[in-house]
Structure 1
Amino acid sequence: MPTPRPEVLDFLLTRRSRPAKTLSLPVPTRDELIPILTAAARSPDHGKLEPWRFIVLEAPALRRLAGLVQERGPALGQTPEAIAKAAKAYEDGGLCVAVIASPKPSDKIPEIEQTYSAGAVCLALLNAALAAGWGANWLSGWPSHDRGFVETGLGLAPSEQVAGLIFIGTETTAPPERPRPDLNAITEWVSE
């Protein structure tokens, strides 16, 4: 017979990301962030490859990246509005953990499964930050898909990519609940 953990299930059933623009100071200290990163690193990882890594971006690094967004945007044909929106996320952020998908050579574990593992790490990191009492939001955006930005700004290898940017801070306002998927529309039961 399973041992229920109703408080954990209740957390998962009611969890809600906090928009990055509503996050403020203070942000977790390094000591406060370690258990959050540890929880995220417990994500499913086929073959124990650890096909992901973390880059913790503190405020000065985020400001530097905001400048790089403004530099790269025009060269990529981004509109001034898209550049300003992307730069603002970095300018306003106090702390961000970049989850980097870093696939490893493997005859047994396809790269796509390693990428899925990196996505699981993003969600686990987001949930761990929320469970620890912080506000958190998983973002990406055009800069995180631009090779020039990620290689210059984050030092990524050619085989790596950003799986997600998890902004963490103090929640300034609770977001309203949003519509959730219709479970009946997305679930198929197969019994034979």
Structure 2
Amino acid sequence: MPAPNPAALDFMLARRSRPAKTLSGPGPDRATLETILTAAARTPDHGKLEPWRFVVIGPEAGARLARLTETRGAAKGLDPEKIAKDASAFTRAPVCIAVLASPVASPKIPELEQTLSAGAVCLAAVNAALASGWGANWLTSWMAFDREWLSEGLEAAEHEWCAGFIHVGTETVAPPERPRPDLAAKTTWWA
């Protein structure tokens, strides 16, 4: 029989992202962030390609990215309210971990599998931050795919894009529970 880990299962059954707009300082220190990144890097990775990388964004860099978001959003003609909302995500939480998808040319591992690995890294980072006692949220938005924003803001290579911005900080409001999927409607059982 397998050895159960009830604490881990209880965590998974109760986990809940914290809305980024409810996160503030203080944030985790570098040692805690390194633990969070170490846990995230244990994500399944077919072929051991490591098709992702991290950019850890502190308050000063967050302010710079907020300004870049405002500039690029205006240049793209986006709605000013959307621009303000997207920009503020970089200044509310004290830390943001950008997970850059960085696909590796491989004759065996399709890029889609590498993309899924980058997404799994995002969830693992959120869960590691939550398990460490911090509030965390995984967001994207148009900046994650805007070549100029990525190049200027994160020094992303031409083949890279952002799988997620993981905002980490102190929870200021307990999040309300939200509806969860109807497992009966989403599950087919085959004998």
| TM bracket (short chain) | over 0.9
What secondary structure does 2:47 align onto? helix
Question: In the alignment, which residue of structure 2 is the partner of 1:79?
Answer: 79
Question: In the alignment, which residue of structure 1 is the partner of 2:126?
Answer: 126
What secondary structure does 2:56 align onto? strand
Q: Give the whole-Å Cα distance in 2 for the aligned partners of 1:89 and 1:83.
A: 10
TM-score, L = length of structure 2: 0.98
What is the identity, as a one-letter code, of the residue corresponding to 2:187? T
More displaced 10-residue stretch of structure 1: 157-166 or 81-90: 81-90
Question: In the alignment, which residue of structure 2 is the partner of 1:100?
Answer: 100
What secondary structure does 1:48 align onto? coil
Question: In the alignment, which residue of structure 1 is the partner of 2:67?
Answer: 67
Question: In the alignment, which residue of structure 2 is the partner of 1:180?
Answer: 180
Question: In the alignment, which residue of structure 1 is the partner of 2:151?
Answer: 151
Question: In the alignment, which residue of structure 1 is the partner of 2:137?
Answer: 137
For structure 1, which runs of at least 5 residues remain unmatched after alignment?
none
Shift of 1:93: 2.7
TM-score, L = length of structure 1: 0.98
Question: In the alignment, which residue of structure 2 is the partner of 1:89?
Answer: 89
1:59-115 residue CA offsets vs partner (Å, 9 max, x unmatched): 000000010011111211201111111111112231000001000111000000000
Question: In the alignment, which residue of structure 2 is the partner of 1:19?
Answer: 19
Question: In the alignment, which residue of structure 2 is the partner of 1:57?
Answer: 57
What is the identity, as a one-letter code, of the residue corresponding to 2:174? A
What is the identity, as a one-letter code, of the residue corresponding to 1:162? C
Question: In the alignment, which residue of structure 2 is the partner of 1:109?
Answer: 109
Q: Give the whole-Å Cα distance in 2 for the aligned partners of 1:15 and 1:122.
A: 15
1:115-135 residue CA offsets vs partner (Å, 9 max, x unmatched): 000000000000000001000
What is the identity, as a one-letter code, of the residue corresponding to 2:58? E
For structure 2, which runs of at least 5 residues remain unmatched after alignment?
none
Shift of 1:50: 0.3
Judge conservation of contact 2:51–2:102 (CA < 8 Å) in 1: yes
Identity among equivalent positions (%) equals: 62
List, as ranges, runs of 4+ consecutive aligned residues in structure 1 with deviation greater than 2 Å.
none
Q: Give the whole-Å Cα distance in 2 for the aligned partners of 1:31 and 1:164.
A: 22
Q: Give the whole-Å Cα distance in 2 for the aligned partners of 1:136 and 1:75.
A: 30
Q: Give the whole-Å Cα distance in 1 for the aligned partners of 2:74 and 2:116.
A: 32
Shift of 1:173: 1.1
